[in-house]
Structure 1
Amino acid sequence: MVDITKMNETIRNFPGVTRKNAIHEVVDLFPTYDFKHVVAAEGEDAAVLECGNMCVLFAADGIMEKLMHSDPFLAGYYAVLVNVNDIAAMGGRPLGMVDVMSFKEGTIGSEILKGMKAGVEKFNVPLVGGHTHPDCNYDSIEISIIGSVKKSDVLLSSTAKAGDDIVFVIDLDGRFPESVPYSYDSTSFKPNELVQAQMEAVCTVAERHLAHACKDMSNPGHVGTLAMMLESSDKGAIVDVTKILVPEGVDEYKWAVTYYGCAFVFACDPEHSQEIIDIFSEVSCAGAVVGKVDDSKILKITDGEDTGVLFDFTKDIVTGVRVKR
C-alpha cells in the first residue's frame, strides 16, 4: 500500500525536482519567439529548429559534480546517454555530439573518456569534436547533441491535451550501480542493437502520430517528469501510483526518484495507448496507462482510496517555464 502523503513529500522534496526551479530564470532572459526558425525551445527536451521540411534538434546536458567524483566512467557514459534520450524524446534520431571536458588530473580524464567511448559505441552516435581543459581546478563533462526529425513528426512535451491517457514505458530489467544508488542502469550491459531499438521505438510512435506529447524520464523521476510536461502544457492530471510498474524488490518511493536508463512518458489519445505499449514491449520495455490529463492545472496522485495534490501549477513551479503558443 502506498502512503500518498509520503509519496508527495518524497517527490516534492527530491533535489532532482527542486533543482529544476531555477530553469525559468535562465529561460526568461533568452526568449525565442521572435526567431521564426525556432519551432519550439522553452520547456522541451531539445530545441526544434526549422530547416525546410526537416527540423534540427539541439540539446545539451552536463553531469552533476557528485557523479563525476563517485564514478567518472559512468559520468562519461551518462553524458552520452542523457543527450541521446533527449533527442529520442522529440521523435528524432541523433546525428552527432561535441563535448567540453575539464579535469584536474589525468586519471579522471581517462575514465571520463572511456565512459564516453562506451556510450558512443552503445548508442552508435559519433563524437565529432569538442574542447578539453586538462589543467583545471575542477572536473566536469558536458555534451551537446544534434538530431533530426521531419517537421510533421516532432514530439513536443508541451502539447499534452485534456482527456489524454498518461502512458509510462520503462525498461524494468536493470540494476542500481553501487556508485550511483539513485540511477537505474538498464543499458550498459544490454546488446547495442536492443538499446538502439529502444530509442528507435520513440521514432515509431512519432512517425505514426500516436502521441500528443512525450518526455524522457529524467532526474525528477517518473511523476516528477510528468509534472514538467503538465506545467509546460498548462494542464493538470490525476495519476494512480498503484499502476506505475516497479521492478520486483524495489521500494516504490526510491523508484519514484530514480533516474532510469530507458523510460518515457507519453500523453496520447486513449485509442493509441495500447499501441504505444505494444511498440515498447517489442524492445523489452514495460508500459502502463497510469493516469489522465485534465484542464485543472493541478497534478494529483491517488492509490484509489486516498488522493493528494502534488503540484498546483497556479501557485507551484517545477521549472517555472510557461510555453507561449
Structure 2
Amino acid sequence: MSGEFDLIRRFFARPAPEGFLGPGDDCALMPAEAGTELAVSADLLVEGRHFFSDVDPVSLGHKSLAVNLSDLAAMGARPLGCFLSLSLPRADERWLQGFSRGFHALAERHACPLLGGDTVRSNRDTTIGVTVIGQLPAGSALRRDAALAGDDVWISGELGAADVALRLLQVRSAGDEALLAAARGALEWPQPQLALGQALRGLAHAAIDVSDGLLQDLGHILAASGCGAELRYDAMPVADCLLGLDAQLLRQAVLCGGDVYQLCFTASPQARPDIVRAAQQAGAKVSRIGRTVAQPGLTVLDADGGPIVLTGNAGFDHFA
C-alpha cells in the first residue's frame, strides 16, 4: 500500500447514500429532517485494554461499530452514519481486510454508512475510535434520568456469557474449550438492540445499554433519576451455556459482567403487555427483573427474599 489515502480507498471508502457526502472532503454532509434531533456517541477501543492483540479482526470490526450502535439503541435512535479513526502500528493488509469486512457488514445491516474518519501510524498498539450519529423524533429520546419509583425494571437478551468468555480468554487454561466456544460469541459478536430501542420510544421511561455490568449501569439510571431498585436474581435471564457454573462466579458474571450490550430499561407496570408485544415485533427477548423504589440504593434479592452480597467488583472501570 502506498499510504494513508490508498488504505482508506481500498478498505473503507464506500459510496455515500443519496443526499449524503461521505469520505473525500473536509467534512461529511448529511440531511437533517424537520422535527427530529440527533443522537451522537463516541467510543475508543484500545488494544490490551478492550481487546486482545490476537482477536479475529472480522469480529473486532463488527464489535467496534456494535458497541457504538448499542448507545444509539439505548436512546431509541435510528442510525444515520458513522465515523472511524484508526491508530495502527503498521498497515497490515490481511488485518485491514478482515476488520473492514466486519465493520462494513454491520454498517450495511443497520443502514449506518461510514462517512469519514482518520488514520495514523501509532508507536505500538492499535486504537480504534468510532463515532455514530442517529436520529429520532424531537423529545422522544430514552434518557437515564426519567425512571419513576414503582417502575418495572427490564433487561433484554441474556446475561453472563461475555464475562465468562473474557475470564476464560484471560486464563487460557485447558479443559474449558467447550464453555469458551459456547460463550465467546457473546463477547466478540454483540448485537445492538436497535429495533427494540426504537420500539420502546413512548413505552419505556429510562434506558441504558449494559456495557460495564448490569448493577453498575442500572446504577447510572437510579442516580440520574433519584430513586433506587430491588432486583430478583431468580428472574435474571442467565445464558444457558453457564448452567452448572460455580454459583458465586455465576452471580458475579450475571450481575457485574460487562460487554453485554443489551438494554436495561424501566417502564410503568401498566405498559407490560405493550412492552412484550414491542419486543416480539423487534425480535428481542426481554425479562422483567425487578422494580424501582423511592428509597435510593440497589438491592438484589435471592429466591428466599434475602439480599445477595457480592464480593467482587460491581462492574468494569476503564481506569482501574
TM-score (norm 2): 0.69
Structure 2 distance, partners of 1:232, 1:163, is 16
Partner of 2:60: 75
Structure 2 distance, partners of 1:179, 1:112, is 20
Q: 1:135 to 1:244 in 2, by over 3 A?
A: closer
Structure 1 distance, partners of 2:291, 2:199, is 23
Question: Cα RMSD (Å) of the superposition?
Answer: 3.3
Report Cα offsets for 1:106-125 as digits up to 9, x if no partner.
23444433332232233331
> Percent sequence identity over matched residues?
22
Partner of 1:88: 73
Q: 2:84 aligns with which of 99, 106, 109?
A: 99
Note the residue ranges of structure 2 that are not aligned, 5 or more in a row.
1-31, 171-179
Please state if 1:267 is matched with 2:266: yes
Q: 1:183 to 1:294 in 2, by over 3 A?
A: farther
Aligned residue pair count? 256
Structure 1 distance, partners of 2:156, 2:122, is 42
Q: Structure 1 stretch 86-95 or stretch 242-251: which is displaced more?
A: 242-251
TM-score (norm 1): 0.68
Q: Which runs of structure 2 are paired with 1:1-325 in the superposition (5 Å)?
A: 53-66=35-48, 67-71=51-55, 72-107=57-92, 108-170=95-157, 184-185=185-186, 188=189, 198-206=193-201, 209-218=202-211, 220-250=212-242, 251=245, 252-253=250-251, 254-259=253-258, 263-303=262-302, 304-308=304-308
Structure 1 distance, partners of 2:110, 2:65, is 8
- The structure in which a higher percent of residues are strand is 1
Contact 1:73-1:115 within 8 A present in 2 as well: yes
Structure 1 distance, partners of 2:111, 2:188, is 13
Report Cα offsets for 1:248-289 as digits up to 9, x if no partner.
231433233444565211111111123213322344432221
Q: 1:84 to 1:135 in 2, by over 3 A?
A: same
Contact 2:63-2:188 within 8 A present in 1 as well: no
Contact 2:256-2:315 within 8 A present in 1 as well: no
Contact 1:55-1:150 within 8 A present in 2 as well: yes
Contact 1:171-1:285 within 8 A present in 2 as well: no
Structure 1 distance, partners of 2:78, 2:142, is 12
SS class of match (2:124): coil
One-letter amino acid of the structure 1 residue matched with residue 228 of structure 2? G
Structure 1 distance, partners of 2:288, 2:76, is 20
